[in-house]
Amino acid sequence: MSDFPLHLIPLLPLVAAALNLAIGRKLPRDASSLLAVGSVAASLLISVVAFSRMAGGEGAVQPLHETWYTWIATSSFKIDAAFVMDALSGVMTLIVTGVGLLIHIYSIGYMSHERDYARYFGYLNLFMGSMLILVLGDNLVASFVGWEGVGVCSYLLIGFWYDKEYNAYAGRKAFVVNRIGDFGFLLGIFLLLTAVGTVNFGELEGKRTLLSAPLWGKNVAFWGGLLLFVGATGKSAQLPLYVWLPDAMAGPTPVSALIHAATMVTAGVYMVVRLHIFYAFGPSLGLAPHLGGAVMIVGCATAFWAASMAFAQTDIKKVLAYSTISQLGFMFVGAAGAVPSSGIFHLMTHAFFKAGLFLGAGSVMHAMSDRTDILEMGGLRKKVPITHACFLLYTLAIAGCPGFSGFFSKDAILGSAAGVDQVLPAWHHFGLATSLVLLAVAAMTSFYMFRLYFLVFSGESRADKHVAAHIHESPPVMTVPLAVLALLSVVGGLVGTPWHDLLGEFLGAPPEVSIPWQNMLGGTAAFAAGLLGAYLCYAGGVRAPVQRFAKGLPWLYDLVKNKYYVDELYDTIIVRPTKLVAHGFADVFDKFLIDSVLVGGLARLVDGIGYLVRRVQNGDVQRYLATMVIGAAVLIWLAARPPADFAVEVQGTTVTVVAAGTGRGVPRRLRYCWRIDGADKCESERPRDSLRITPGRHKITLRVWDADWGTSASRSLEVHGS
């Protein structure tokens, strides 16, 4: 516990975002970027101070915790706007702010020709703030604020060039698909609040009995974790909700690097590791091992699925997008496996090299006049030497070249998957099977990444003359971040080597699992196989074997190139029916009921009345006067006519009306209706002002009306005839 002002870490970028979005247009461009970069740098500085205070002490890690204020307090639960920096969120914060800072700096150069400079940096800062809230929040609800925030920023930044139809569509698609996942996440929060009464990460770990209470055939942890994982599949682009990420490449390239490779998409992995008591295996660790198995299967399937789709992509960013999805699958397997820290390890190294790959791709596009088709590139090795050198290092890292960061982290993930068999022997080599699939995917990764590398950089230029004439290296403001990321990609793996798993120990990896050494041989073999294959097929351009393959199996080539027609499938079974229903509702309720009947109908009613009434107001004073005279005459008539009041007198058995018709001294012709004892018929309807009754009590209802003046009165009376 400590009173370190952790809230400053997300707050500074948020303030900068507010300034840039509110008054950015009036600021000079340098001020916008300085504000944005400075706020992130300050966040990074505070994070480093906090991190060193948390980890620097003697002995165990001392988590920092800050309760900023109580946000929601009810009788059954309490939710604080609180932040926590422990080992996990500390590492995440450093990754987010560190990589984020590099990308902010890179953006200064990349976006230098952009008109909406301040808006771009405002969104970027808003994203940083949201992501830091997500990471630092000490409960699910606080994290959910960031969780939604990054989704919004993703939407805003994908559709940054909103005047292009496709970009706006891609932004909407990302937002809607994310929302589907977020709905699951929200349900998970509700379930946990209802069943456990807390969503605080620290407290959840202490509620093992409540979490393992049976619910719907499984336990609370299973269903809660499953719903939260639905959110994770949306945010981290896993099967079946991955479809938004490839389209997200419509945004500016640094955004792809920051949001769709390095940070936002890792939120799901972070969540799985954070709640590893839900997902982890082993009786002493996890509460719902089946859920962990499901996460591993989803991750494994996604890794394979996306890697196979990367084979036939020709857009440099799309290849990287599918690669990201595939690598995220790796992370999920690692996070749910026996060593959750391996997921975070790969998350970190992936953040370095994938951010670098995207920024490198941005630099390539910068050189190629914004062309993205790798079939039109080639021969860039000599033209953009710095970008090329960095790109090669990133490629080696992601492909798993021994000694590079990706090698160690992928190794850790394979170990985490294989380790499942050690803690859960009953599952018949489930872990081994998973890790073998991942090994195959690692070879595929190596293949498609080197395919990309060879097509872009090796051989001769295939670009047209205008583009080729303009090829140039990027300015230092872009190449320096590339170099820093390249350095990190190379050495980043050293924090988690199998000899000394620093990161794993720091994050508290379970000691009972040991990673077999043979994994490293497998990883190396996969890397080599992929490299060899790519060299044979693509070195210096598309070679004969590939063309033979594409001609020999055209259906397979088309299937992969068209991404297995998943988008079309979703479009047919989900999007179109939804749109159809929406259009139906729009036509019936909105257009007909509301527009035509309620709003339009009211307007037409007023219009119609107005049409009639305005005939009266025609400007002819004499007609107004006539109306006034008639109205006055009616009013005087009504006020001045004598009322039909009367009194009744009883003498013996005769009831007589007296004092009727005496009004204003005018003789009146009155008519009477006598009803006796509730009879329906008038006993006497003649103009007779008296009635003989039989002796005894009677109830008489007398109605008197005046034919001349149109007035009437009636009264009930009790009479006693004697």
Partner 1 sequence: MIPVSNFLYLAAILFAIGLSAVLLRRNALIVLMGVELMLNAANLTLLAFARAHHDLRGHAIAFLVIATAAAEAAVGLAIVVGIFRTRHTANIDEVTLMKH
Of 127-135, 272-280, 521-529, 624-632, the window that binds partner 1 (rule: CB under 8 A) is: 624-632
Q: Write down the least CB distance from residue 710 to partner 1, Å.
A: 22
Looking at residue 43, what DSSP letter applies? H
Of 391-399, 467-475, 557-565, 618-626, the window that binds partner 1 (rule: CB under 8 A) is: 618-626
Contact between 665 and partner 1 per CB under 8 A: no
CB nearer to partner 1: give 553 or 625.
Answer: 625
Please state, in angstroms and rounded to a whole number, the distance separating the CA atoms of residues 261 and 324: 6
CB nearer to partner 1: give 163 or 620.
Answer: 620
The correct pick among 626, 635, 638, 679 for binding partner 1 (CB under 8 A) is 626
The sign one gets for the Cα dihedral 165, 166, 171, 176 is positive
Q: Following CA atoms 83, 86, 90, 91 in sequence, which dihedral angle do they give, to the nearest 10 degrees?
A: -140
CA 22 to chain CA mean position, Å: 23
Please state, in angstroms and rounded to a whole number, the distance separating the CA atoms of residues 368 and 466: 10
Please state, in angstroms and rounded to a whole number, the distance separating the CA atoms of residues 9 and 133: 9
CB nearer to partner 1: give 585 or 637.
Answer: 637
Of 46-54, 82-90, 586-594, 617-625, the window that binds partner 1 (rule: CB under 8 A) is: 617-625
Residue found by looking up tokens 């700096």 in the block: 105
User: At 191, which helix (H) or strand (E)?
Assistant: helix 165-195
Please state, in angstroms and rounded to a whole number, the distance separating the CA atoms of residues 211 and 197: 10
Contact between 633 and partner 1 per CB under 8 A: no
Q: Write down the least CB distance from residue 635 to partner 1, Å.
A: 16
CA 492 to chain CA mean position, Å: 31
Contact between 573 and partner 1 per CB under 8 A: no
What count of other Cβ atoms lies within 10 Å of the Cβ of residue 13?
Answer: 27
CB nearer to partner 1: give 620 or 718.
Answer: 620
Per residue in 37-56, is it b (16+ CB within 10 Å) or e — as a string?
Answer: bebbbbbbebbeebbeebbe
Q: Write down the least CB distance from residue 606 to partner 1, Å.
A: 24
The correct pick among 74, 76, 284, 622 for binding partner 1 (CB under 8 A) is 622
Q: Write down the least CB distance from residue 626 to partner 1, Å.
A: 5
Of 246-254, 551-559, 613-621, 674-682, the window that binds partner 1 (rule: CB under 8 A) is: 613-621
Of 2-10, 315-323, 622-630, 708-716, the window that binds partner 1 (rule: CB under 8 A) is: 622-630
Contact between 616 and partner 1 per CB under 8 A: no
27's CB contacts (< 8 A; 6+ apart) are 20, 35, 118
The correct pick among 72, 469, 574, 629 for binding partner 1 (CB under 8 A) is 629
Q: Write down the least CB distance from residue 639 to partner 1, Å.
A: 18
CB nearer to partner 1: give 536 or 629.
Answer: 629
The correct pick among 469, 625, 634, 638 for binding partner 1 (CB under 8 A) is 625
Q: Write down the least CB distance from residue 667 to partner 1, Å.
A: 15
Q: Write down the least CB distance from residue 641 to partner 1, Å.
A: 17
CB nearer to partner 1: give 76 or 617.
Answer: 617
Please state, in angstroms and rounded to a whole number, the distance separating the CA atoms of residues 190 and 584: 32
CA 122 to chain CA mean position, Å: 19
Contact between 619 and partner 1 per CB under 8 A: yes
CB nearer to partner 1: give 73 or 621.
Answer: 621
What secondary structure does DSSP assign to 603-638, as a single string? HHHHHHHHHHHTTT-SS-HHHHHHHHHHHHHHHHHH
User: At 552, which helix (H) or strand (E)?
Assistant: helix 544-552
Q: Write down the least CB distance from residue 629 to partner 1, Å.
A: 7
Q: Write down the least CB distance from residue 617 to partner 1, Å.
A: 11
CA 17 to chain CA mean position, Å: 19
The sign one gets for the Cα dihedral 316, 327, 559, 231 is negative
Write out 73-108 in H/E/C secondary structure: ECCCCEEEEEEEECHHHHHHHHHHHHHHHHHHHHHH
Phi, psi of 667 (to 5 degrees): -65, 140
Contact between 621 and partner 1 per CB under 8 A: yes
Nearest to 357 by CA among 406, 319, 395, 401: 395
Residues 518-547, interacting with partner 1 (CB under 8 A):
none
The residues pairing with 483 across neighbouring beta strands, listed in sequence order, are none
CB nearer to partner 1: give 72 or 625.
Answer: 625
Q: Write down the least CB distance from residue 676 to partner 1, Å.
A: 43
Q: Write down the least CB distance from residue 634 to partner 1, Å.
A: 15
Of 354-362, 396-404, 414-422, 619-627, the window that binds partner 1 (rule: CB under 8 A) is: 619-627
Contact between 632 and partner 1 per CB under 8 A: no
Count residues near partner 1 (CB under 8 A). 7
Please state, in angstroms and rounded to a whole number, the distance separating the CA atoms of residues 417 and 437: 10
Of 20-28, 123-131, 216-224, 614-622, the window that binds partner 1 (rule: CB under 8 A) is: 614-622
CB nearer to partner 1: give 576 or 623.
Answer: 623
CB nearer to partner 1: give 500 or 623.
Answer: 623
The residues that touch partner 1, with contacts defined as CB under 8 A, are 619-622, 625-626, 629
